[in-house]
Structure 1
Amino acid sequence: MIDFNRLLSQLLYNPADPVLFNSAFFFYFFALFLLCYLAVSRSSQGRVWVYTVFSLYFFYKACGFYVGLVILSAIVDFNLSRWIYNTPSRSVKKSLLVFSIILNIGLLFYFKYTDFFIGIINDLTQGHIRPLHLLLPIGISFYTFENLSYTIDVYRGEIKPVNRFMDYLFFLSFFPKLMMGPIVRAADFIPQISQPYRLNTDDIGKGMYLIIGGLFKKIVISDFIYQNFVQYIFDDPSKHTGLECLIGVYGYALVIYCDFSGYSDMALGIARWTGFKIPPNFDSPYQSSSITEFWRRWHISLSSWLRDYLYIPLGGNRKGKVRQYVNLALTMLIGGFWHGASWNFIFWGGMHGAALAVDKVRIDWLKKSKTVITGWKATSLKILGVLITFHFVCFCWIFFKAATFHDAWSLIHQIVYDFQPGIWTELYQGYTAVFWVMVLGFILHFLPSRMEFTTEKLLGRLPLAASVAVMVIFIWLLVQVKSTQPMIPIYFQF
C-alpha cells in the first residue's frame, strides 16, 4: 500500500534535504521529466512549458518559496527590457537600465550582504543593530547576473528582447544551470528555443560523458576527499602538522574543482540531452602556466561576465597601463565579493587581482622585448609556470576555504613552522585511500583532451540498450561508494 503521507513529504520542500543532482530523488525527477519532455518534443512551446514547470518545481525543492524570486525577476526584466528596446529616447533607455541594475543588485545585496554591512556598522560605531540572519536563496548570484547581462545587452542593441514571457522564464529558470551555473547569456540560449529537438550520436556521447564524468568528480573524488580528510584539516588547522595542512590544501584544490566542475559538467550533459548547448565552465584550470590563463580556464562564465560587464565598462586597457591594473584589481575584488559577504573572499579576490596585474606587466614586457623561447627551455618554463600558478592558486584557496583570517594564518603557520615530514609513513597508513584518490584526481585532470574526445565518440556509438546499461551500472557503482548523506555542493552558498 502506498504511504501517501510519506510520498507527500518527499514531494514537498525540506530545508534539511534540498534536491541535488547526486540525490536519489533527482534520478526519479529526471526520469519523469524526460518522459514528459519527449512526449511534447515536437512542439517548441510544449518543450518550453514542460521544462519551465519542472525547473520551477526543481527550484522549489531546492529552496522552497524563494522560487517566487525567480518568477518575479523574470517578470520585471522581461518587461523592462522590452520597454528599453521600444523607447526611442536614449536618456529614458539609460534610466530604465539603471533602474533594472538597482533592482537586481538591490535584491542580491539585501539577501547576501545585509548582515555583513550591519556587522561593519556595529564594529565602527559600537552599535547593536541586530543581524537579520536572512536565508540566502540558492542560485540568486547566478540568475541575477543573467538578468543583468540580458537587460544590458538589450540596451546596447546586441540582442532583441524575447516576445513571449514563457521563453524568458524558461531561460532564467532552466534547471540544469539554475543553482550553480554556468552563467548563461540570453544571446547564446534563447535562439535555441525555437530549434527542432534532434539528438545525434555526438549529443548522446557528449551528454553521457559529461554526466558520468561530473558524477564521478563530485561523488568519488570531491566528496570522498573532503569527508575523509580535508574537512578535518580546515576545522582546526592548529591541531595538525604542516605536512597534513599542506596535503589538505592540495586536497581542497581538488575538492573545489571536482565539486564545482562536476556539477557544471552534469548541467552541460543534461542540457545536451535535451537539445541545448550551454558554454563549458572549466577547461582543466590547473594546467595553466600563468594566472591569466587560469582565469580563462576557471569558472569561465563568471570571468567572461566580469570582463564584458565590469572590466571593459570600467575602461579595460583603453585608459593607460596604471588604469588597466586598477581595473583588473577592482574587477577581481568585486568578483571575490560576489562569492560571499566575507573579508576572506575580498582578500582572495584582491590577491588574484594583484597577480593578474603583475602578470599583465610580464606579458607586456615579453611583447616589447620580442623575446621568443623555443625547445626545451620553453617546455621547462611552461612546467615551472604551471607549478608556480598552481601553488599560488592553492595559497589563495586557503583564504577562500578558511572560516576566518585566524584559521587561514594558523594553517600557513603550521606549514611554515611545524612541517614534521617524518610523520609521512604514519599519515599515509591512516589515509591511504584518500591519497590515492587524490593522485587519481590529478592524473585525470592532466590527461590530454584528445582522450576525452575519444571517450565521447565511443559512448556515442553505443546502441540505446548499451547506453542505458552503462548508465545503470555506473549509477549502481556510485551508490556503493557514495556517503549515506549527500554533501551539499560548495557553490550552493554563492
Structure 2
Amino acid sequence: MSYLSIEFGLIFVVFFAIYWAVRVLPKFQNKLLLISSYLIVGSYSLQFAIILFIYTCSIYFISVMITSSQNHAKRWLILGLVASITNLAIFKYFDFFRYELQSLCNFLNLPILLPVVTVLIPIGISFYTFHSVSYLVSIKKRELPLANFWDFALFLAFFPSIIAGPINRAKTFLPQIAVSQPRDILDPFRAFTLIILAVIKVYCLGGLISENWVTPIFSNPLEYSVIDLLVGLYAYAMQIYLNFSGYTDLVTGIALLLGFRLPINFNFPYLASNLREFWERWHISLSHWIRDYIYIPLGGSRCGFVRTQINVMLAMLLSGLWHGAGINFIIWGACHGIGIVFLNILDRYLGRGWIAQRSPIIARLLTWHYVCFTWLFFFCESFADALDYLNALCHNFTVQPHYIGALISICVVFLIYPICKNIPTWCAVQLSRINSIYLPVFFVLILWLTIYLAPSGVPNFIYANF
C-alpha cells in the first residue's frame, strides 16, 4: 500500500483518532503501532511479515546473549553481525552472485551448474538490517540497556521508516518507544507542512518531470541530441531528489503526528560544493551509518593517507552495492569513491576547498555535473544501457534539440535553488497563522489541487526498491 494513496490516507485518519484516544497508555499505543506496521509489511506479502518476525526474534536472542555473557559478548556481537549481513545477502544478492559465479564457471570451463532459485526481496530488509546492526553495537558498547522485546520489534518494524528509511539509530529511537509518560503530537504545523511538501514533490513535480523528460529521453537516448540528453540527466537528478526527499518529508511528518522524531535525511544536497559535502547532505542517515559502521571500523583516516583512500573506496563500493545487486550500482559507488579520493588528493596538494574558496559557483557546478553523471549508472538497468546513453551524449550533436525550454527551466531552478531552503520554515509559519477551524479545509484543498495537476496514477518511491 502506497503511503501516497487515498486508501492509506483514510486508514491513517482512523488510526490517528484511535491512537490518540489512548494517549494516556503509551504502551498500548506501541502495540497499535506494531500491529499496524506488520499489517503494512504483510500487505506486500505475508512471507515478508513472517521473515521480519523470525529475524527480530533471532537478533533479540543474540542481544540477550551479548548482555548476559560478559566474557563472550564480542563473539555474540560478531555472530549477530554475520547473521544480519548473511540474511541480507541471501535475500538481496543471491541471484546477482549466482549469475556472476555461473559466468565465472562457464568462463573457466568448469562443469558446475548452480541452482536457479527465485528469491523475493522482503520489503524494507535493508533498513531493518541496518537498524538491527546499530542496536547490537549499542548493546555491546553499553550505550543503552537491553530493550523490551516488543519495543525492539517496533523499532525494526516502525511503519513510517521501514519501507525506505531514514535509518534510525537504536540509542536515539528506542528511548522514544520505551516512554512511560503520555506522548504529544510534535511540531504539528511542521508536520503538516512536510506532508504537503511531500505530496507536491513526489506526486506533482517528480511525476511531471518523470513523465515529460526522464522516461521519454532514457527510453531511447539514441534519438535525442546532446542538449536533450543533458536535460534527461538533469531531470533525473531532480526527480530522484524530489522523490526521496519527498518520501522522507512524508514519513517525518507522519512520525511527528505520532509523537516520534526521525533523523534528518536531506539538507539541500545540490548546494554542495564538493562530493564530501554532497554526502553530508544526501541520505544523511545512510552516509553517517556507513561512516560509523564501515569506514571508521576499517581504520577511517587514522592509518595514513593511502589507507584512508582505500577505506573511502571500500565504503563507497559497499554503498553502491547496498543500493542494488547489479554492476551499475557498483560502478555508481565506485564513481563517488573515485571522486572523493581525487578531491582528497587535491586537498592534500592544493589546500582544502581550493576551488570553492576561489569560486563557490564553479565548485557547485562541477559537483552538480559530476553527481548527474553518476546518476546515469544509478538509473540504467544495465551497463549496456548506460553505454548507449554515453555514446549518444558524445555523438548526437544535432542543432534542433527538443527540450531547449526544459534546459532553460532547469538552469533557472538551479540558480534559485538556494532560496528554496527557507520554504519549509516559511510554510510552517504561514500555516500557524491560519485559524485552526479552516486548517483542515486548506490542507485538503492543497492536496486535491496537487493530485489534480499531477500525472495519473500513484507514483512509486524509488528508494523502496533498495
On whether the aligned pair clears a TM of 0.5, the verdict is yes
Change (3 A) 1:475 1:358: same
Distance 1:441 1:74 in 2: 45
For 2:50, the aligned partner's letter is G
Distance 1:443 1:98 in 2: 49
Change (3 A) 1:454 1:413: same
State the partner residue of 2:88.
108
SS at match of 1:45: helix
Match for residue 386 of structure 1 among 357, 364, 373:
364
Shift of 1:45: 0.2
For 1:401, the aligned partner's letter is F
State the partner residue of 2:40.
58
Distance 1:363 1:372 in 2: 7
State the partner residue of 1:165.
149
Distance 1:470 1:318 in 2: 54
Change (3 A) 1:477 1:448: closer
Shift of 1:240: 2.4
| 1:134 paired to 2:119 | yes
| 1:414 paired to 2:392 | yes
Shift of 1:216: 0.8
Given that residues 20 and 26 in structure 1 are in contact (C-alpha distance below 8 angstroms), is that contact kept between their aligned partners in structure 2? yes
| 1:37 paired to 2:23 | no
Given that residues 38 and 49 in structure 2 are in contact (C-alpha distance below 8 angstroms), is that contact kept between their aligned partners in structure 1? yes
Change (3 A) 1:156 1:179: same
Change (3 A) 1:366 1:454: farther
Shift of 1:435: 6.6
Distance 1:331 1:155 in 2: 23
State the partner residue of 1:492.
464
Distance 1:389 1:129 in 2: 43
| 1:328 paired to 2:300 | no
Identity between Structure 1 and Structure 2 (%): 33
Query: Mean alpha-carbon deviation: is it higher for 296-305 or for 440-449?
Result: 440-449
Shift of 1:437: 7.5
How many residues get paired? 459
Shift of 1:440: 7.9
Change (3 A) 1:260 1:372: closer
Shift of 1:212: 0.8
Given that residues 227 and 403 in structure 2 are in contact (C-alpha distance below 8 angstroms), is that contact kept between their aligned partners in structure 1? no
For 1:196, the aligned partner's letter is P
Match for residue 429 of structure 2 among 454, 457, 461:
457
Match for residue 379 of structure 2 among 393, 396, 401:
401
Shift of 1:345: 0.5
Q: How does 1:58-457 map to 2 (within 5 A)?
A: 58-89=40-71, 92-126=72-106, 127-162=112-147, 164-193=148-177, 194=179, 195-199=181-185, 203-365=187-349, 378=357, 381-420=359-398, 422-424=399-401, 426-427=402-403, 442=414, 445-457=417-429
Distance 1:329 1:372 in 2: 22
Distance 1:427 1:395 in 2: 19
State the partner residue of 1:49.
31
Query: Mean alpha-carbon deviation: is it higher for 329-338 or for 27-36?
Result: 27-36
TM, length-normalised to structure 1 = 0.88
Match for residue 453 of structure 2 among 461, 481, 490:
481
SS at match of 2:335: helix
Given that residues 188 and 278 in structure 1 are in contact (C-alpha distance below 8 angstroms), is that contact kept between their aligned partners in structure 2? no
For 2:425, the aligned partner's letter is F
State the partner residue of 2:109.
none
Change (3 A) 1:62 1:355: same
Given that residues 194 and 424 in structure 2 are in contact (C-alpha distance below 8 angstroms), is that contact kept between their aligned partners in structure 1? no
Distance 2:408 2:234 in 1: 13
For 1:118, the aligned partner's letter is R
Shift of 1:64: 3.6
Given that residues 221 and 437 in structure 1 are in contact (C-alpha distance below 8 angstroms), is that contact kept between their aligned partners in structure 2? no
Given that residues 237 and 407 in structure 1 are in contact (C-alpha distance below 8 angstroms), is that contact kept between their aligned partners in structure 2? no
TM, length-normalised to structure 2 = 0.93
